[in-house]
Homo-oligomer: A and B are copies of this chain.
Amino acid sequence: MKQRRISKLIRIGTVNIGGNSPIVVQSMTKTDTRDVAGTIRQIQEMAEYGCEIVRIAVPDKEAAQALLSIKRGTHIPIIADIHFDYRLALATLEAGADGLRLNPGNISEKKYIAAIVRAAKPRGVPIRIGVNAGSLPRSANPKVSIAKQMVEAALEQIRLLESLDFDQIKVSLKAFDVPTTIKAYQLIAEKIPYPLHLGITESGLPRAGVIRSAIGIGVLLYQGIGDTLRVSLTGDPKEEVIAAYEILKSLNLRERGPTMVSCPACGRCEVDLIGLARSVEERLAKMDSPIKVAVMGCVVNGPGEARGADVGIACGKGRGAIFRKGEVVRTVEEKDFLEVLMEEVSKI
């Protein structure tokens, strides 16, 4: 893995982004923002799963005003997602937004940006320049690649913000096409000092969406690029948060809760391994500590192949071997596989 690109540190509410800070997990609510109680409930659930910053759509004045009550009922920083109307940005700043996301594709005029900066700067509220491949500003040059057009759109707004003496900036360059997204982030990473918010846009329902997101975000993180991320899925926002942590855990960039090592099972396996693995996953779901648990389908390969696990089981016909760090510590009958494994887990 490449060493992480060190970006300028900014702060969204109480959360640091960039510099040497851990890579921050964000997501977005899917409730009607004007439904204050429903939105608060969703934010609280997202926070339980580890969401560190939440973004909410602000399509109108009523939604902007709702932010005030939503802020009161929640404890993680809130970013207002603004399109088209700079006055909604002003209203959410007044309501206490911790961050703004602007789309250069629909708010780019200097006088509007200047009005937003005048309100954001004294409040210490950063602005994300959130470029989407599908809503590029009209000035974009159609002769160059989409990735370059996205970078150009971002750079133009960055220059505008800098000319207004504003540098609390974060940038995203999202496309549906994974190589386009990667290219865009690679290009801008060399040109600006600001932290980067990673994501693949419109990536679809979870089954395909997590894969598109994992590859796009994963390739960039592997190259040391990225300070915060949001996995966009057509699904429950907590699935976005879970996927975000799985991406970070896969690259050893964050720890959160248990990790399961489990083999795919094959013709060598003589128990219902998939069922056992599912039960273990369910039981582990309530745990917070970053324990690594292995569920392996055969006694012969199991303990060795899962040497890195803190505790595990290797299942044979009728009996299984419980192991710790690759060493077998006891054997157990099939009917007791789950209970004994969980007992060993609880000892750690």
A binding-site residues for B, Cβ under 8 Å: 1, 28-34, 39, 56-59, 63, 81, 83-84, 132-135, 176-179, 182, 201-205, 207-212, 214-216, 218-219, 222, 232-237, 240, 242-243, 246-247, 249-252, 259-270, 273-274, 277-278, 281, 294-296, 300-301, 304-308
Question: B232, A263: Cβ atoms under 8 Å?
Answer: yes
The residue in chain B whose Cβ has the minimal distance to the Cβ of A326 is: B134
- A-B contact list, 25 entries, CB within 8 Å: A29-B267, A30-B264, A30-B266, A30-B267, A32-B267, A33-B267, A34-B267, A56-B267, A57-B268, A63-B267, A134-B304, A135-B301, A135-B305, A201-B305, A202-B263, A202-B306, A204-B261, A205-B278, A205-B281, A207-B246, A210-B210, A210-B214, A214-B214, A214-B215, A215-B247
The residue in chain B whose Cβ has the minimal distance to the Cβ of A307 is: B134
What B residues does A134 contact at CB under 8 A?
Answer: 301, 304-308
Min CB distance A240 to B, Å, is 7
The residue in chain B whose Cβ has the minimal distance to the Cβ of A252 is: B179
What B residues does A59 contact at CB under 8 A?
Answer: 267-268
Question: B250, A215: Cβ atoms under 8 Å?
Answer: yes
What B residues does A132 contact at CB under 8 A?
Answer: 301, 305
Min CB distance A38 to B, Å, is 10
In the assembled complex, the Cα of A252 lies from the Cα of B181 at a distance in Å of 13
What B residues does A176 contact at CB under 8 A?
Answer: 261, 306, 308
Say how many copies of this protein the assembly contains: 2
In the assembled complex, the Cα of A214 lies from the Cα of B251 at a distance in Å of 12
In the assembled complex, the Cα of A30 lies from the Cα of B269 at a distance in Å of 8
Question: B305, A262: Cβ atoms under 8 Å?
Answer: no
Question: A182, B222: Cβ atoms under 8 Å?
Answer: yes
Min CB distance A196 to B, Å, is 18
